[in-house]
């Protein structure tokens, strides 16, 4: 753990803290239908035109059921829109490669994946998706799903801040204002900054480069009919072939990457995602990307404080998140810097740490930091391959997913997820002192606690249920040689189990990162992962919206000597305890079967 | 029912509106600005020789195996450095396949560079990168390869050291990230030296 890493970590936290207040103040304006921003002269006409087309009145507010219905309908329409484009892409324009329609199960998985802000990718972009599918069918959800998450968070915060009312705001207004005033302007500047670091933004076909030194490779020999020639032993005959060209990908990457990071979507333009030299060219572009993952979520905690007129509460929530973030980042960094003893015995310099699946320009520290941040938030972009992390280094992202991504979290989703834990923490504190718990002057009653617990139980039940089902089944592609069914894992032993557990954890938590060795593009995996993503987003949101509706209707009770304060050190400790206790109790047995046992096997030098 | 239809109409129209603004106008605006401000970078930071042939991108690694060149990291992208299938090995810490390949790479690396059988080898020299297109190697890795390249090319050791320094990307702003030697740029610089 080099000193330069400590410096970079300190700079990151300081910069994040510094942008939290300005971002929160800007959110106050964006999330207020009558709010004013300095972009009004340009964007106000566009906003009015959109409302006029939609037939929406900006001053009309909705109760929690109307708000939730509007959100669900919008998500359904968006999901069908994407599904239709993917299935019909062979009939639609902008398909120069002549790709056929995407298979029904893969189109379902992909449409759900992008609608739910997950961006799990079971497809290979460059060999499956037409330009229209990439640019419209997928990218629209990078904006829409991010705006939806922020809208829900705003409704929940209004539920806390208001009293004796049913109204939580207007979903359509929140959606449009967040897209136009928040996401678009930041992305525009951010994308150009990324291009300045070397990211591509063009509409050219792929470039062919002449290799400086042609490469010789062994390939299977084919006869005139294109069949593989087999030798007497039944194995394919290999022949030498010279590769003289390298294909360099091109395309409108920067505009897509900016929103993928800022909106915590994470779906990569290339297969290697943010590890690709074009998709993350320099350590500076890396710094900007990890900052943008946390930017809005961090600002939302300030928004919470402002709206509820208790800025200290906003900062207490922020502090809890940062403590959990630092713990994860340090643990992952320590594990990766320590490296893999099996490889050290083979003659690798131990002080270099575990470099498998990592890029030299990021090194151990920035790879571990990125892995932690991308799973604290529901981003899911990766700048190193999580499947090749050490056992304990890989457990950090997995555990982050299990906590429900409440450490800053996905845009909006992180805040409303954390507020569920706050309600529970207040409830537990109330039990300890034997009083009816209060949160910001609202009595927390049995309905509220039921809704909070329901959303947490759905998280644990879907992750563990689907993982267990997949482990008992053979859902992978058939073995090419023997045609036997497989479970689709790329590693054997406990690491194979970790691959499956990670897949469903990532899907339910709407993250999208993967232990990418798992071959998930099969009908069963596509379907069950798609369902896991739907449950993880919408089954969680409905109880949370019900909670918001219930809180908004309550009367304010004045604070008394018996009121548990939701600010300060004691509250932070209690909230930390609640998050960790629930996360650990639910998932520790599963983690013991995967990364924990693998850690001890690594120390013993056991291979699979 | 009437409100339901009104809501569906709103949902459909806002979807179309967002498609036009966020999927049409926005990428075109970024395209316009970046093509004016950063034309070379927006088009892939390509390296073009005097005849106009594209030799590669400054950012994308290429395979090298001849003794006269510095060697990049092992690559899991396709058959190696395949620009259309970026990615890592996705092999975990207890993978036998990974341990076998690292063991082989260590032996090969020592043999190629004339190192003693117990010399510790830099991790980046024997492990596959995340993208399979990593343009860099660590300075220590370059150091260990320098005498081989100098010997094959008949160059003074100082000259090779100087080129390594010139083609090393230092941490951004002096503290962000790790230093890396750009292998393609270094090898092209070696090829451009007069004489051999």
* Interval A311-328: pLDDT, tens: 999 999 999 999 999 999
| A239 in reach of chain B (CB within 8 A) | no
DSSP string, A476-508: SPPPTTT-------SS-THHHHHHHHHHHHHHH
Helices A3-30 and A283-307, packing angle to 10 deg = 50
List C-alpha distances in Å: A559 to A24, A162, A428, A564. 26, 16, 18, 9
CA-derived radius of gyration, chain A: 25
| A185 in reach of chain B (CB within 8 A) | no
List C-alpha distances in Å: A138 to A100, A133, A382, A506, A562. 17, 6, 18, 19, 51
List C-alpha distances in Å: B30 to A193, A258, A333, B27, B36. 10, 10, 35, 5, 10
- Is A276 found in the same domain as A312? yes
- Is A338 found in the same domain as A211? no
**A58: which 2 tokens?**
């900006």
Q: Among A190, A225, A248, give the residue marking a domain's end.
A: A248
Q: Please, which residues 75-134 of chain B have a Cβ atom closer than 8 Å to chain A?
A: 77, 79-96, 98-99, 102-103, 106, 110, 118-124, 126-134
ipTM score assigned to the predicted complex: 0.96
Q: What is the pLDDT of residue B195?
A: 63
Between chain A and chain B, the number of residue pairs with CB atoms below 8 A apart is 398
- Is A526 found in the same domain as A447? yes
Per-residue pLDDT reduced to its tens digit, B132-186: 999 999 999 999 999 999 999 999 999 999 999 999 999 999 999 999 999 999 9
- Is A335 found in the same domain as A436? yes
Is the pLDDT at A12 greater than 90, yes or no? yes
- Is A565 found in the same domain as A480? yes
- Is A180 found in the same domain as A87? yes
Q: Is residue A302 part of a domain?
A: yes
Mean pLDDT of chain A: 93
Q: Is residue A232 part of a domain?
A: yes
Dist. CA A221–CA A218, nearest whole Å: 9
Q: Is residue A12 part of a domain?
A: no
Mean pLDDT of A388-397: 97
Is the pLDDT at A427 greater than 80, yes or no? yes
Q: What is the pLDDT of residue B11?
A: 95
The three-state secondary structure class of B137 is strand
Dist. CA B105–CA B91, nearest whole Å: 15
Q: Is residue A431 part of a domain?
A: yes
The three-state secondary structure class of A377 is coil
Band of pLDDT at residue A348, cut at 50, 70 and 90: very high
- Is A120 found in the same domain as A240? no
> For chain A, what is the domain count?
2
> Looking at the partner chain, which of A8, A46, A187 has a beta carbon nearest the beta carbon of B26?
A187
Mean pLDDT of A291-311: 97
CB–CB contact B55 A212 (8 Å): yes
Per-residue pLDDT reduced to its tens digit, B75-123: 999 999 999 889 999 999 999 999 999 999 999 999 999 999 999 999 9
Chain A residue whose CA is closest to B47: A209
Q: Please, which residues 151-190 of chain B have a Cβ atom closer than 8 Å to chain A?
A: 169, 171-173, 175-178, 180, 184, 187-188
CB neighbour class for A301 (10 Å; exposed up to 12, middle 13-18, buried from 19): buried
- Is A562 found in the same domain as A443? yes
- For residue A230, the tally of other CB atoms under 10 A from its CB is 12
- B-chain residues within 8 Å CB-CB of A355? 123-124, 127
CA-derived radius of gyration, chain B: 23
CB–CB contact A352 B43 (8 Å): no
Is the pLDDT at A339 greater than 70, yes or no? yes
Distance from CA of B155 to the nearest CA of A (A): 20
What is the percent of chain A with per-residue pLDDT over 70, rounded to a whole number?
100
CB A373 within 8 A of CB A325: yes
Using the structure block, give the residue that is written with the tokens 């199960």. Answer: A105
Per-residue pLDDT reduced to its tens digit, A151-204: 999 999 999 999 999 999 999 999 999 999 999 999 999 999 999 999 999 988
**A312: which 2 tokens?**
């200290």
Mean pLDDT of chain B: 94
Residues 6 or more apart in contact with residue A431 via CB below 8 angstroms: A437
Q: What is the pLDDT of residue B1?
A: 54
- Is A127 found in the same domain as A1? yes
- B-chain residues within 8 Å CB-CB of A188? 26, 29-30
Q: Is residue A402 part of a domain?
A: yes
Mean pLDDT of A330-338: 97
Q: Please, which residues 341-380 of chain A have a Cβ atom closer than 8 Å to chain B?
A: 342-343, 346-350, 352-363, 365-367
pTM > 0.90: yes
- A-chain residues within 8 Å CB-CB of B164? none
Which DSSP symbol is given to A405? S
- Is A283 found in the same domain as A430? yes
Select the residue from A60, A172, A193, A356 to test the B interface by mutation, using most B Cβ atoms within 10 A: A356
- A-chain residues within 8 Å CB-CB of B99? 342-343, 346, 607
Dist. CA A482–CA A234, nearest whole Å: 13
**A101: which 2 tokens?**
């329609």
> Which range of residues forms the domain containing residue A227?
207-248
- Is A221 found in the same domain as A150? no
List C-alpha distances in Å: A38 to A29, A49, A185, A389, B29. 10, 19, 11, 45, 20
Q: What is the pLDDT of residue A513?
A: 92
Distance from CA of A63 to the nearest CA of B (A): 14
- Is A244 found in the same domain as A335? no
């Amino acid at each position: 753990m080099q000193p330069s890493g400590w410096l970079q970590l300190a700079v990151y936290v300081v910069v994040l803290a510094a942008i939290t207040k300005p971002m929160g103040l800007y959110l106050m304006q964006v999330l207020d239908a009558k709010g004013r921003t300095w972009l009004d002269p340009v964007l106000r006409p566009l906003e009015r035109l959109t409302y006029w087309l939609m037939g929406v009145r900006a001053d009309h507010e909705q109760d929690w059921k109307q708000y939730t219905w509007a959100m669900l309908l919008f998500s359904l329409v968006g999901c069908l829109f994407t599904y239709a484009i993917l299935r019909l892409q062979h009939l639609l324009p902008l398909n120069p490669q002549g790709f056929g329609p995407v298979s029904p199960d893969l189109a379902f998985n992909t449409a759900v994946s992008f609608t739910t802000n997950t961006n799990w990718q079971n497809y290979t972009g460059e060999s499956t998706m037409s330009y229209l599918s990439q640019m419209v069918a997928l990218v629209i959800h990078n904006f829409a799903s991010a705006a939806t998450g922020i809208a829900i968070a705003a409704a929940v915060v209004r539920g806390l801040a208001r009293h004796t009312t049913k109204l939580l705001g207007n979903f359509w207004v929140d959606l449009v204002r967040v897209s136009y005033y928040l996401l678009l302007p930041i992305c525009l500047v951010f994308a150009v900054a990324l291009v300045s670091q070397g990211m591509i933004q063009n509409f050219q076909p792929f470039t062919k480069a002449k290799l400086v030194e042609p490469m010789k490779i062994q390939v299977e020999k084919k006869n005139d009919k294109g069949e593989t020639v087999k030798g007497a032993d039944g194995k394919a005959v290999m022949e030498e072939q010279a590769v003289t060209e390298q294909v360099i990908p091109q395309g409108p990457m920067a505009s897509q990457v900016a929103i993928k990071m800022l909106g915590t979507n994470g779906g990569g333009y290339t297969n290697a995602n943010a590890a690709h030299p074009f998709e993350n060219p320099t350590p500076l572009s890396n710094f900007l990307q990890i900052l943008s993952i946390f930017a809005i979520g961090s600002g939302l905690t300030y928004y919470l404080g402002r709206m509820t007129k208790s800025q200290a509460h906003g900062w207490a929530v922020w502090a809890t998140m940062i403590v959990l973030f630092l713990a994860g980042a340090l643990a992952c960094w320590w594990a990766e810097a320590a490296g893999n003893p099996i490889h050290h015995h083979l003659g690798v310099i131990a002080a270099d740490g575990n470099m498998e699946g990592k890029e030299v320009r990021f090194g151990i520290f920035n790879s571990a930091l990125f892995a932690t941040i991308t799973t604290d938030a529901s981003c899911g972009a990766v700048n190193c391959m999580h499947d090749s992390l050490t056992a304990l280094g890989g457990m950090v992202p997995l555990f982050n997913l299990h906590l429900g991504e409440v450490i800053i979290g996905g845009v909006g989703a992180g805040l409303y997820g954390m507020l569920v834990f706050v309600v529970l923490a207040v409830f537990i504190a109330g039990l300890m002192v034997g009083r009816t718990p209060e949160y910001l002057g609202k009595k927390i009653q049995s309905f509220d606690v039921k809704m909070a617990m329901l959303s947490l139980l759905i998280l644990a039940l879907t992750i563990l249920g689907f993982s267990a089902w997949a482990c008992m089944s053979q859902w992978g592609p058939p073995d090419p040689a023997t045609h036997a069914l497989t479970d689709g894992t790329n590693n054997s032993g406990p690491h194979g189990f970790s691959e499956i557990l990670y897949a469903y954890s990532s899907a339910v938590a709407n993250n999208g990162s993967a232990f990418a060795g798992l071959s998930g593009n099969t009908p069963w995996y596509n379907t069950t992962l798609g369902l896991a993503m739907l449950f993880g987003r919408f089954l969680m949101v409905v109880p949370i919206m019900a909670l918001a509706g219930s809180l908004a209707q309550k009367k304010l009770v004045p604070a008394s000597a018996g009121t548990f304060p939701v600010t300060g050190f004691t509250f932070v400790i209690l909230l930390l305890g609640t998050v960790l206790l629930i996360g650990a109790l639910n998932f520790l047995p599963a983690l013991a079967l995967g990364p924990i046992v693998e850690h001890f096997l690594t120390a013993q030098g056991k291979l699979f | 029912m009437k409100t339901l239809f009104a809501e569906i109409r709103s949902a459909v129209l806002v979807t179309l509106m967002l498609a036009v603004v966020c999927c049409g106008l926005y990428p075109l605006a970024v395209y316009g600005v970046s093509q004016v401000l950063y034309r070379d970078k927006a088009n892939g930071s390509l390296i073009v020789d005097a005849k106009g042939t594209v030799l590669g991108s400054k950012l994308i690694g290429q395979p090298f195996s001849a003794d006269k060149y510095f060697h990049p990291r092992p690559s899991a992208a396709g058959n190696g450095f395949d620009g259309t299938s970026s990615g890592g090995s996705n092999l975990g810490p207890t993978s036998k396949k990974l341990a076998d390949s690292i063991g082989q790479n260590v032996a090969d690396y020592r043999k190629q560079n004339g190192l003693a059988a117990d010399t510790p080898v830099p991790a980046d020299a024997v492990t596959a990168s995340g993208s399979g297109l990593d343009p860099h190697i660590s300075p220590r890795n370059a150091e260990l390869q320098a005498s081989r390249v100098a010997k094959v090319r008949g160059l003074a050791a100082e000259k090779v050291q100087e080129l390594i320094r010139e083609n090393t990307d230092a941490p951004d702003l002096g503290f962000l990230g790790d230093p890396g030697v750009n292998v393609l740029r270094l090898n092209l610089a070696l090829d451009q030296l007069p004489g051999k």
